[in-house]
Structure 1
Amino acid sequence: MSFVRLSKTVEYMYKLHHRNFKLYFKPIKAPLYEPIVKNSIHWVGHATVVINLNNKIIVTDPVTSLNLGELKRLVKPSLNLSSINIDYIVLSHGHMDHMNYSTLRKINKSAIVIAPIYLNIPLKILGFKNIVLLNHAEIYSDRHIKIKALKANHDGRRYPWGAKAESNSYIIESSLKKIFFAGDTALTDAYKDLIADVAIMPVGCYKPDEFQEMHCSPEQSFKMFKMTKAKLMIPIHYKTYILAQDKDEDTVNTLNRINDGSIKIIDIGQTVKL
């Protein structure tokens, strides 16, 4: 590692931990608690959403911990995932803010888990029995749902020193509705022309600019959404933890500035009917 790169890393880590340290003197904010209804999307926080399609419950990247290591949650999770009967768990990749072991331990183990191919061993250790590993372009389907994996522009390995691992995005489809869940991704044209009713898109963790090698800015997220044929964009992956140097208020201001009516900006705990 060069001196310049090392210096930037030290500066980034100092700013990150300084911002998080100040949170320990503030209470965690309360979310909204709107109910989950048939054919809806409910944002629990970060990249965790509960999707109800014909009363089948799909949860994406379940993370409800009040702390990720030393990083304190900004807003409490709107839902105790262990209190609901989850039919499907959709994991985009193995990063700790997307595949949270303490959360997954509490979820019903009868759920069908859809995940990238390298996550088999940790999922088995966590006690899940119905594990489906998908490579890019592969599909899981049953009589209730169809889930197709797409390639996200993101390094999915759990630790920086680990072997390179892929990240997935997903198209989640019932007989009536189709949802695109991007997971975590930098700018890519891989989603061009895909059809969906709603695109759930990440908009946080993009500063400093080097982070855009693996994450997208709000403008880039909107650009990818516009490449698709989705009708509505719901921004996620912000407002929950401080993981980088971007600020949520700036992200919201940017989303409001670029919104042409197709972005549905919601708060944690809010439900959007499909």
Structure 2
Amino acid sequence: MKRVSVRRRRPFKIQKLEQLVRLVRESHEQPITGEPRLPEIAEAGETGITFLGHSSFLLQVGGKNILVDPVFSTRLVVLRRQRAPGVMVRDLPPIDLVLLTHAHMDHLDKASLRRVIRATRRLRGTTPEVVVPNGVEDLVQWMGFEKLHVMSWWNEIETLGLKIVMTPCKHWGARMFRDMHREYGGYFIAPTDGGQTVYHSGDTAYFEGFSQVGERLRPDVALLPIGAYFPDTYRTVHTSPEEAVRGFMECGAKWMIPMHFGTFRLGREPMEEPVERLNADASRLGITDKVRVLTEGETMLLSREGSVMAARPAINERESSSSLAASYGHG
């Protein structure tokens, strides 16, 4: 009898470990590119959205300075970033509020949070407030934030003249694999006295929640993830560029700004592919004028009515960090 050879598949855990080893090796093979900038500062009534890299943003909404998922570290455990942060911590305005979408290390970086707290204390004498999903509070409660808010999906709070709503997403929240009790989500940010609103989806796969956000909140600007979608199994927790465009159209926003691409090698797709596919799909649908791909450190400024403002000079390059408090009106 002829013997038939059977090729056994490697155990799933070994496959995942091999993928991680490849990602780590590739993240160290290329030099870090990009140069930090000085941030543009929104004037009264304007909204500023500055892309810091990955899923990190500086939002200037309702006269307040907000950081979402700030990550400034060069390395996250074993992964090294491929692009420099768009703005250095020392060049940030004093931060009023930090929003953390979930506990993953590429979104909740303790070293970066401590640096933001110290920098704001130096500039203003106080520290930011922080918002986290339910089950994440133990990671930040002793860091020195002025106030800690804990939220679940569709919870709403008002603080600092802002309305904050935690929105659902399709992802997972464990930091160390076994702490699956940790929740996760996105955020809708609106000034209570009117003006442009911003929706940061957090990490998410495509799901019906985009339509729910559109029905309930109708944001003006949507910050949506477009990377780490290959192999296809990753799309159970991440959107492809085409799915992100679909989510943008369903949430009803006027503008889309992509995120979660180009900074860390988290998926197997080429680093430049997410933006290429995003632009191609936007062109196919005739919405290229609604999709704004920001480079690290670039700011999109919107008037109170929602028109795009021309870029203006950033903070004077000759100003030292010791004089920033006066520059931001906190001297």
For 2:207 and 2:134, the matched residues in 1 are separated by 21
Q: Is the counterpart of residue 267 in structure 1 residue 295 in structure 2? A: yes
Aligned to 1:220: 243
Aligned to 1:87: 96
Q: Which moved more, 1:86-95 or 1:11-20?
A: 11-20
Aligned to 1:128: 145
Q: Matches of residues 10-89 of structure 1 in structure 2 within 5 Å?
A: 10-23=17-30, 26-38=31-43, 39-82=47-90, 83-89=92-98
Give the conservation status (yes or no) of the 8 Å contact 2:36–2:87. Answer: no
In the superposition, the TM-score normalised over structure 1's length comes to 0.92
Aligned to 1:160: 177
Q: Which moved more, 1:107-116 or 1:85-94?
A: 107-116
For 1:68 and 1:143, the matched residues in 2 are separated by 31
For 2:112 and 2:14, the matched residues in 1 are separated by 35
Alignment gaps of 5+ in structure 1 = none
1:118-142 deviation digits (Å, cap 9, x = unpaired): 1222211222240000111111103
CA shift for structure 1 position 72 = 1.6
CA shift for structure 1 position 33 = 4.2
Give the conservation status (yes or no) of the 8 Å contact 1:91–1:114. Answer: yes
For 2:62 and 2:242, the matched residues in 1 are separated by 33
Q: Matches of residues 55-204 of structure 1 in structure 2 within 5 Å?
A: 55-82=63-90, 83-108=92-117, 110-142=127-159, 144-174=161-191, 175-192=194-211, 193=214, 194-204=217-227
Q: Say which SS state the counterpart of residue 186 (structure 1) adopts.
A: coil
Q: Say which SS state the counterpart of residue 124 (structure 1) adopts.
A: coil
Q: Which moved more, 1:122-131 or 1:196-205?
A: 122-131
For 2:64 and 2:131, the matched residues in 1 are separated by 15
Rg: which structure is higher?
2
The runs of at least 4 consecutive aligned structure 1 residues that moved more than 3 Å come to 31-34
Alignment gaps of 5+ in structure 2 = 1-8, 118-125, 303-331
CA shift for structure 1 position 147 = 0.4
CA shift for structure 1 position 77 = 1.2
1:105-164 deviation digits (Å, cap 9, x = unpaired): 112362111110112222112222400001111111036110001111110111112233
CA shift for structure 1 position 32 = 4.7
Give the conservation status (yes or no) of the 8 Å contact 1:172–1:179. Answer: yes
For 2:80 and 2:160, the matched residues in 1 are separated by 40
For 1:81 and 1:53, the matched residues in 2 are separated by 19
For 2:99 and 2:206, the matched residues in 1 are separated by 21
For 1:33 and 1:143, the matched residues in 2 are separated by 25
Residues matched between the structures, number: 271
Give the conservation status (yes or no) of the 8 Å contact 1:232–1:263. Answer: yes
CA shift for structure 1 position 209 = 1.2
CA shift for structure 1 position 240 = 1.1
Aligned to 2:15: 8
Equivalent residue letter for 1:22: E
What is the RMSD computed on CA atoms of the aligned residues? 1.8
Shift in CA distance, 162/143, structure 1 to aligned 2, threshold 3 Å: closer
For 2:42 and 2:271, the matched residues in 1 are separated by 28
Q: Say which SS state the counterpart of residue 106 (structure 1) adopts.
A: helix
1:173-224 deviation digits (Å, cap 9, x = unpaired): 0121111110111111112124111001111111111111111111111111
Q: Say which SS state the counterpart of residue 65 (structure 2) adopts.
A: strand
1:68-98 deviation digits (Å, cap 9, x = unpaired): 1222221211223354310111110000000
For 1:114 and 1:161, the matched residues in 2 are separated by 23
